Amino acid sequence: MTDISHDRLLIIDFGSQVTQLIARRLRELNVFCEIHPFNTVDDAFLKDFNPKAVIFSGGPSSVFAEGAPMPPQSVFDLGVPILGICYGQQVMMQCLGGKVERGHGTAEFGRAFVAPTQNKLDVLEGWFLTEKEQVWMSHGDHVSEIAPGFEVYGTSPNAPFAITGDAARNFYAVQFHPEVHHTPNGARLYENFVRLAGFKGDWTMRAYREEAIAAIRAQVGDAKVICGLSGGVDSSVAAVLIHEAIGDQLTCVFVDHGLLRKGEAEEVVTMFRDNYNMPLIHADEQELFLGELDGVSDPETKRKIIGRLFIDVFQKHATAVGDAKFLAQGTLYPDVIESVSFSGGPSVTIKSHHNVGGLPEKMGLKLVEPLRELFKDEVRALGRELGLPASFIGRHPFPGPGLAIRCPGEITREKLAILREADAVYIDQIRKHGLYDEIWQAFVAILPVRTVGVMGDGRTYDFACALRAVNSVDGMTADYYPFTHEFLGETATRIINEVPGINRVTYDITSKPPGTIEWE
């Protein structure tokens, strides 16, 4: 398939909510890893995967439960280093002849402190920065007797076997979660582990790109693929990657619902059609969307109308492409549900974030999601690797319903036109002041009120607008951006001078919660 040869680490997932963070820590070390649910890992799989090291994730189960998740015993005969985490530690001990005890009043959740024992272990080199290293625990059962060959290297009040290891076999097991933020020195453990395992740290975005291309070709064969392009980072990177893999078997559909920002449609179309020579359907459906939104002011009704029309329009154009078998989406790792299904057979239960919700089922399409294993910043790195312009990669998020939810009350073409101009001036100001990349998202909302003003010698009666700028990590919580008064004053003056129709500018200083980022 691909001649990329890099060492592979296998993460056997027992269902922990934070398994993906293990992958994250390893990616930061340029180690290639794949997460596979325990019930898909058997002897044949292990032989085929040929891991250079294995990590057992944590998980919600108890080794005492009937049908408790277990790895194949043959994993211990591979002769490769293994690291067990939390439930993974208990599994390791159970399999290798140790004992696990049910947690009766000895459960530990949250912060705990692990102290070193007299024993020394390479994998812990540089780990104990303090006498008591903070770790994050989340377990009910605990190991009560370690397996033959193991020693204890760290203890916590409720986990006497917090860090255990068998240095001869390179098997290590910890009761806590080194992958989470609340184990501040946790990354060190992974670093030492992969170093001991002999990883060269050669897994880069270039390698990912080639792997992903091979995987897309293998999945799609000679079938046609359609991709809804929004102009956002995720769908753009997905489209460019897939195009590189299968060329003109991919057709992108860009729906212009009339709710885009100034120059946005041209920018997207030019970039993909002219720069990438990609088959692109530019569906100009402004009349349809704006017609159906006419007179609608309720936010949820707006969203529902837009969502429904989007699916109809996408379906119409996708059907015109011919017999597409796949729908490409820029689903990211955080969109993929963390846990695996233990009862539902070997398949992983995922929650796909349907950018064009409901379409795959409706049209009988299979999904191609080449970014499913990446975090947002990795998608940006991949975009850079693929040569997408920096201006595209660094764009602020833009919601599917577009300007409709930045225009509280009734949407009119007049208001949209004013909003586009005001937004363009605001973003221009932010760029000129070198703040664009410091801000997570910034935009203007046009308010459904007119206010009285005085310009020159005359009276004005125009719309008021609100500037919004927030910092956030994931959009779930946010705080307003602390612009200087000079910046705000200058921006207000520019908007009022340059945008006919607006005579008052306010700055929204609401955090989320209690507010939301968008106004509707």
Q: 188 or 372, CB closer to ligand XMP?
A: 372
Q: How far is the CB of 212 from ligand XMP (least distance, A)?
A: 23
Q: 487 or 519, CB closer to ligand XMP?
A: 519
| Helices assigned H by DSSP within 107-228 | 186-196, 205-220
- For residues 28, 29, 31 and 34, what is the CA-based torsion angle, rounded to 10 degrees? -40
Q: How far is the CB of 363 from ligand XMP (least distance, A)?
A: 20
Q: 88 or 228, CB closer to ligand XMP?
A: 228
User: Residue 112, SS3?
Assistant: strand
Q: How far apart are CA 339 and CA 351, in angstroms?
A: 10
Q: 57 or 441, CB closer to ligand XMP?
A: 441
Q: What is the DSSP letter of 60?
A: S
Q: How far is the CB of 369 from ligand XMP (least distance, A)?
A: 16
Q: How far is the CB of 233 from ligand XMP (least distance, A)?
A: 12
In which element (H, E) is residue 171 found? strand 171-174
Q: How far is the CB of 387 from ligand XMP (least distance, A)?
A: 25
Q: Cα 391 to the chain's mean position, in Å?
A: 20
The backbone region for 137, taken as left when phi is positive above 0, alpha when psi lies in -120 to 50, beta otherwise, is: beta
Q: What is the DSSP letter of 397?
A: P
Measured CA to CA in angstroms, residue 153 lies from 83, 118, 156, 179, 190 at distances of: 14, 7, 11, 19, 16
Q: 12 or 447, CB closer to ligand XMP?
A: 447
Q: How far apart are CA 259 and CA 288, in angstroms?
A: 12
Largest CA distance in the chain: 91
Tell me the β-bridge partners of 9. Answer: 33, 53
Burial call 25-46: b when 16+ CB within 10 Å, e when fewer: bbbebbbbbebbbbbebeeeeb
Q: Which two tokens stand for residue 173?
A: 């097991």
Measured CA to CA in angstroms, residue 517 lies from 322, 477, 488 at distances of: 39, 9, 19
Q: How far apart are CA 240 and CA 272, in angstroms?
A: 8
Q: Between helices 376-385 and 233-246, what is the axis angle to 10°?
A: 50
Q: 409 or 475, CB closer to ligand XMP?
A: 475
Q: Amino acid identity of 405? A: I
Q: 184 or 397, CB closer to ligand XMP?
A: 397
Q: How far apart are CA 147 and CA 142, in angstroms?
A: 13
Q: How far is the CB of 397 from ligand XMP (least distance, A)?
A: 4
Tell me the β-bridge partners of 512. Answer: 478
Q: 91 or 332, CB closer to ligand XMP?
A: 332
Report cis status (omega within 30 of 0) of the bond before 360: no
Q: 369 or 518, CB closer to ligand XMP?
A: 518
Catalytic residue positions? 86, 177, 179
Q: How far is the CB of 316 from ligand XMP (least distance, A)?
A: 21
What is the distance between the terminal CA atoms of the chain, rounded to a whole angstrom? 47
In the complex, the residues that contact ligand XMP under the rule CB under 6 A are 397, 399-401, 441, 475, 512, 516-518
Q: How far apart are CA 274 and CA 241, in angstroms?
A: 16
Q: How far is the CB of 475 from ligand XMP (least distance, A)?
A: 4
Contact (Cβ atoms closer than 8 angstroms) between residue 83 and residue 41: no
Q: How far is the CB of 428 from ligand XMP (least distance, A)?
A: 20
